[in-house]
Structure 1
Amino acid sequence: MALYGAAAAVLEGLERGDGGLKSLVYNSGFPHVRQLYALVSETLRYGPVLEKLLADAALLQAEKKLPAPLAKVLVYDLLFGKGLKCGGRWKALARRHRARLEAELARLKVQRGVSSNEELLAPAQAASSGAPQVPRYVRVNTLKTCVDDVVEFFKRQGYSYLGKAASVEELRALSGKKFLLDLHLPELLVFPPQTDFHDNLLYTSGHIILQDKASCLPAVLLGPAAGSHIIDACAAPGNKTSHLAAILKNKGRIFAFDVDTKRLATMNTLLTRAGVTASRLAQRDFLTVEPGDPAYSRVTHLLLDPSCSGSGMVTRGPGAEAAPSAERLRALAGFQRKALSHALRFPALRRLVYSTCSLRREENEDVVQAALREHGSAFRLVNAFPAWPCRGVAAAFPGAEGCLRASPAATLTQGFFVAVLERRGEGAAAPSSLPAAAEENAQHGTEPEAAPRKRKRQRGKE
């Protein structure tokens, strides 16, 4: 069961937008990462086929306690993989439905006029073959090092540093062993797609974090001052939490919630490796956290990155872009609206960032609009990061263009959505909405060679 459970957890993390496939696999704690990576990759490759089979066989309706990600893994191995060599009670459950699943698979082949499993994949592979290539983004963990030292480290490893990027086109043109400083975020380095750092010393020691650029925006836009108390409402696997801790310089407190024990364990490992000491982890559903609890009376900032359809993730593997069912989309949007409304009830809250890795308006602008209808007398939508090129869907509601969107084509990132809400009349920021330091860095950039050293050089030994 350990393998299937780990694979299901990775799939769920991908769906939530917690990271890319490789980072989630390597951070899973599962001892046989290649086996896990292969299983998840193949499950993703067969994603649309598996969803069709699950729906036609009504497996999730018959087995209501079977999570959808686990069902996909089990059905993949049952029909296309090694035939369920492990799995305990879940294996027995899947085998009870084997005849129905095999019948639906045969029916699907007849419907599509194919005779082999691989031929079933042809439409999905053709659709994904033109997917844009997103660069490899590397966030420098300033709790342990600084940008100029990391740049020097990579230079010694044979990489050529090209300086600060002036445009997205420069990022798009990266190839070979060349890298740039990002044009928007001053602690983000950019390498060509498929560059693998999972075995690199800086990654294994926590000096760099492999995190997509769009996923870095929520913490930057939240912009808490050192000493702040923050809630990270749906925190695992922890990349955004570690980013918040770096912004805080570990001075303050981050209350990080997640309901899943395994995800919290993975998160604890990541945060420990990153040198985070400001976080307080709790296995708890954020919706059960009482806003009036004295423990959170000083919480002024909140990051809400709830479960979503993951429709913006382009590195999840072939076939991972299949649309969620209308029922699932309604359920996700309902949960997101409820979580955002709950978050806005914390009495000392001054600033909140809501983000998803979804491209769907139902999970993005529509959720924000619902929150503003309920809490608009106390909170306003801020025009977040005006220099960012992709904006919210203006037709959704007046002012929706104050939200941010990201996409592989326009920003060379994962698909993402970010909205910033701020309490009215309490030291509200200027309409630009980027915290002052981040605004200055985003506009003017910070070249590594000119950056002040805040850490001793920690080259080879680290």
Structure 2
Amino acid sequence: MARKKPIVSNKSATKQERKPEEKRASNAERSAYFARREAAKVLRSALQGDARRRAVGTIKSLVYSPSVRNKKATFALVCQTLKHLSVIKDVLEESNVLTAKWKKQNELMYIIIYDIFFGQEASLTGDAEKYLTLKKDALQLAMSRILKRKGVKTVKDLVALDKSDLQKPRYVRVNTLKIDTELAIEELRKQYTVQKDDMVPNLLILPPGADLHNHPLVINRSVFLQGKASSMAAVALGPKPGWEVIDACSAPGNKTLHLAALLNGKGKIIACELNKERFMRLKDNVKLAGATNVKAVHGDFLNLDPNDPSNSKVRAILLDPSCSGSGTAFDRLDHLLPSHSADYKDHVDIKRLRNLAGFQKKVLEHAFSFPAVERIVYSTCSIHQIENEDVVQSVLHLASSHGFHLETSFPQWPRRGLPTFDGSQHLLRTDVVEDKEGFFIALFARKGVHQPGDYAREAVSNHVCRKHEIRKPLNVFVAKMLKVWMLPQHAHRRKRKIYSM
């Protein structure tokens, strides 16, 4: 007996027929979907920090944190949305399309509206995207009213392109502890044109926009993405191989590792960092960079005792303390944030600057108290006089009492300190417009400082070479005793001969 074929209902058939027709998101659409969510999180952190004037991190540091997977797409979305943010906000306010539910996700709405008007509208998948796509007519109508009201014809006329369009070269500092400069140039030239900087050794210049964040040489710390002005600080300090040096405020460690390279891996660098998270990042960078002469210290520089024997041989100190960061706004993309817009460009938080200056003065005064220090560099990435010339001027009397004077660093550099006091011509400034970075360097130096043991070695040397020309601070008997102490063990047989001299 033949089996009857199963009866398929019209309902089931319809369901089966529709299933293959359902559109599945492509890889590009899924990638764009997740990039928008990641960008929204970064944008929220940046805008909240900007509103409180207490940023949790720069836009770049937020994007390049380990939690962000699609860094390139996320970075582009955040930057472009911020550039168009004033227009986007005007459209949302004019159209009034957001319900209470979607207003809680403002940052995601900003990102999606950017894509609707300026970006990848074709890849708009997701509930939030579908909601705004349905409201597209209302958004377009709102945009038309705004254009008419402001007397312009296109959206481009609404977008003010300011410093974000300035082209800044990409500077790369070669870590000579790991790689030869010529070899680094050879590797980088496979992708970019490369030039050597004419002022800072081992600093290379690449074209603007060169994206090296994922380059193998950057990942393994063979090269560092470090601006020219920032690289000038360690060179200005000028430590000699074998010296002991303190980097007082060191994380993430770019200047620390520059000092390590200048010392040729010799001597010792004490790198202080108080913040635990930044300290861990410092330790990782030191390890990857191969800087075996760096001792990372999780602690406050102000707690280092200048009279402790372990600090008695420190010859140089680099001070790059917390500052307003106003000189690196371009690098940090701060100019894209609302507080840096035209309406707020003259806003300066004087109270914050004074607090910063108070701390900066305190660490500089502490540096003067180390007995064997010969050179101190005080640097900031600030454009404000209150953090720069005013801090230096306030400590000049104390510096002089310890034997320090201002010395000119990079004499060939054209831009010097503001003429607020006699001696400001020794200070160095870089300009935000001319140099694409605002930076400040003050170099304090003193001569005639001797390390423990120096007098002993000099006395012995003088006694051996010129028996009757012992330095005045030491009498002849003490000089002879020091000679015995400094001689190797096998020379003890000659003690009697030495005493009879």
Q: What pairs with 1:5-404 in structure 2 (closer than 5 Å)?
A: 22=60, 24-25=61-62, 28-30=65-67, 32=69, 34=71, 37=75, 80-82=106-108, 126=160, 128-129=162-163, 132-155=166-189, 157-158=190-191, 177-313=192-328, 314-317=330-333, 318-319=335-336, 321=340, 323-378=347-402, 379-394=404-419, 396-404=420-428
Deviation, 1:236, is: 0.6
Residues 16 and 308 in structure 1, CA contact (< 8 A), matched pair in contact too: no
1:45-94 Cα deviation digits (max 9, x unpaired): 7999xxxxxxxxxxxxxxxxxxxxxxxxxxxx9674259xxxxxxxxxxx
The letter of the residue matching 2:426 is: G
Deviations 1:177-198, CA, capped at 9 Å, x for gaps: 4221112113111011110111
- Report if aligned partners of 2:185, 2:194 keep a CA contact under 8 Å in 1: no
Change (3 A) 1:326 1:345: same
CA distance in 1, matches of 2:54, 2:186: 34
- Which amino acid is 1:366 matched to? D
Q: Percent identity?
A: 40
* Structure 2 equivalent of residue 414 of structure 1: 437
Please state which structure has a larger fraction of its residues in helix.
Answer: 2
Deviation (angstroms), 1:41: 5.4
Offset of residue 404 of structure 1: 0.6
Q: Distance in 1 between matches of 2:80 and 2:106?
A: 9
Q: Deviations over 1:399-435 (max 9, x none)?
A: 101111112433x3421000100124449xxxxxxxx
Higher relative contact order (CA 8 A, sep 6+): 1
Unaligned 5+ segments in structure 2 are 1-40, 87-102, 110-145, 148-155, 451-501
> Which 5+ residue runs of structure 1 have no aligned equivalent?
49-76, 84-112, 115-121, 159-176, 428-462
Amino acid in the other structure paired with 2:247: D
The answer to whether the 8 Å contact 2:269/2:294 transfers is: yes
Secondary structure of 1:225's partner? coil
CA distance in 2, matches of 1:27, 1:423: 42
Cα deviations across residues 95-125 of structure 1 (Å, max 9, x unaligned)?
xxxxxxxxxxxxxxxxxx99xxxxxxx9997
Partner residue in 1 for 2:446: 423
Question: For the structure 1 residues 399 and 230, does the alpha-carbon distance in structure 2 shift closer, same or farther, using more than 3 Å as the test?
Answer: same
Q: CA deviation at 1:208?
A: 0.9
CA gap 1:426/1:275 in 2 versus in 1, 3 angstroms: same
Q: How many residues are matched? A: 340
Partner amino acid, structure 2, of 1:384: S
* Other structure's SS at 1:354 match: strand
Residue type at the aligned position of 1:397: F
Partner of 2:473: none
TM-aligned CA deviation for residue 276 of structure 1:
1.2
Q: Answer with 1 or 2: which has the greater Rg.
A: 2
CA distance in 2, matches of 1:27, 1:249: 30
**Against the structure 1 CA distance between its residues 81 and 27, is the aligned structure 2 distance closer, same or farther, given a 3 Å change threshold?**
closer
Going from structure 1 to structure 2, the CA distance change for 1:247 and 1:406 (only over 3 Å counts) comes to same
Give the C-alpha shift of residue 43 in structure 1.
10
Residue 243 of structure 1: SS of its match in structure 2?
A: helix
Task: Give the residue type in structure 2 aligned to 1:414.
Answer: E
- Aligned partner of residue 262 in structure 1, secondary structure: helix
TM, length-normalised to structure 2: 0.60
Relative distance call for 1:42 and 1:246 in structure 2 (3 A) is same
Deviation of 1:31 (Å): 5.7
**Is residue 372–residue 449 contact of structure 2 (8 Å, CA) maintained in 1?**
no
Which SS does the other structure have where 2:166 is aligned?
A: coil
Q: Distance in 2 between matches of 1:291 and 1:359?
A: 31
Q: Residue 319 of structure 1 aligns to which amino acid in structure 2?
A: L
RMSD: 3.9
